[in-house]
Amino acid sequence: MKQYHNTAIIFGRVKDALLHFEYVIPMNVTGEAMGYRPVGNESGQSIDKFKEATMRDYREFTDFFGTPEAMQRFYPPALAQHPSFKDTVNIFDGLLFAHMIKAAEGEEFFQKYLESLAQLIGSEQAVRAKQLSPSIEALQRVFSKLATDFQLLDIPIDCAPFFLESADEHSISGSVSVLRIRVIDTDNVPLSQIVEFRRDKQKMEKMRAFRLFAYEQYSGKDRAYVEDDLQKRLSDYEDAVRASGFGTKIKTLSFLFDSKVLLGALATSAVAVLMGNPNLAMEAFGAGTILEVGKLSLEYAKQRHELRKICRENPISYIADAKRILKVP
């Protein structure tokens, strides 16, 4: 499945995604810069403000490349040169941000946001709230048209922050998570060093090969072969992380599948082989099954995911923070 190591649509941190994909299409630049992301918790809150609005990541890109169009440097070449793609993505980004602002801060704050927006763009008339407070369903329609028009329906979506326990039953999708994996801590790595690291094709191939194991086709292979392949991928990945010289932290790598992937790729993937058969693998998603494979601990579960409503036509993969950060050296 070659598309999984080439291009991805990014709703999470761009610097993280640059370590796993050759090309990236950021679609939540404003939300990440301003510190808003969907989250699920016991209170039912759907949006979390996770940091101050410093726009540090955006400024780092702009300073490094010397241009406000910095993010487009990592678009696939055909889209980077497309006359309307950037503007279309910016429209979706703005609508998504407005949705998060209203959900997180309430109606009064949202109205003040619209007033500030009107002043920013020099509008003599107030920006109409209805146009800039789309529902999840409206966002889904905009995203679907964007993905269809620009032929993005067959690429993965990296949506690390959008892990919603509070979504409804229609947004459930099976997932497999790899527990306690050491990853590069991009919070403390300058963009310049990540760009330099990306030039080492051999190391990047090792980084990406492990991340793609859940989608790998193992049709006709037995369990022993799959386990050996996973261990080699993990060993190569760990070597690449160590060789980077960057600081690291412990995370959980999670891979979220939609129904098409479950019925197709998953039927012959590492997930299905290690569970014994595809039907058992799918049933296990409801039970939180944990399987130990050498140094790997794999957890199977059903995940509730709000972006499933927006991006349900696409296969989805993502990296999620561990729910409980493990403090290890």
Measured N-to-C along each axis, helices 201-211 and 223-244 cross at an angle, to the nearest 10 degrees, of 140
Query: What's residue 41's pLDDT?
Result: 43
Contact 307, 11 (CB under 8 A): yes
Query: What's residue 197's pLDDT?
Result: 94
Query: What's residue 248's pLDDT?
Result: 93
Task: Name the DSSP class of 184.
Answer: E
Query: What's residue 85's pLDDT?
Result: 95
CA angle 91, 96, 102 (to 5 degrees): 125
pLDDT over 90 (residue 75): yes
SS3 305: coil
Q: How far apart are CA 97 and CA 28, in angstroms?
A: 7
pTM for the model: 0.81
Q: What is the mean pLDDT of residues 129-154?
A: 83
Identify the residue with better confidence: 204 or 253. Answer: 204
Task: Name the DSSP class of 265.
Answer: G
pLDDT in tens, 188-237: 898 889 999 999 999 999 988 888 787 777 878 888 988 899 999 999 99
**pLDDT grade for 122, boundaries at 50, 70 and 90:** low
Query: What's residue 325's pLDDT?
Result: 44
Q: Which two tokens stand for residue 76?
A: 């696939």
Q: What is the dihedral of CA 258, 16, 204, 25, to 10 degrees?
A: 60
DSSP 33-93: HHTEEEB--TT---EEE-S-S--HHHHHHHHHHTSTTGGGGGS-HHHHT-TTHHHHHHHHH
Query: What's residue 126's pLDDT?
Result: 59
Least-confidence region, from 206-210, 235-239, 311-315, 323-327: 323-327
pLDDT in tens, 27-67: 888 888 788 776 544 444 567 677 666 667 677 777 877 77
Query: What's residue 237's pLDDT?
Result: 94
Task: Name the DSSP class of 163.
Answer: B
pLDDT over 90 (residue 150): yes
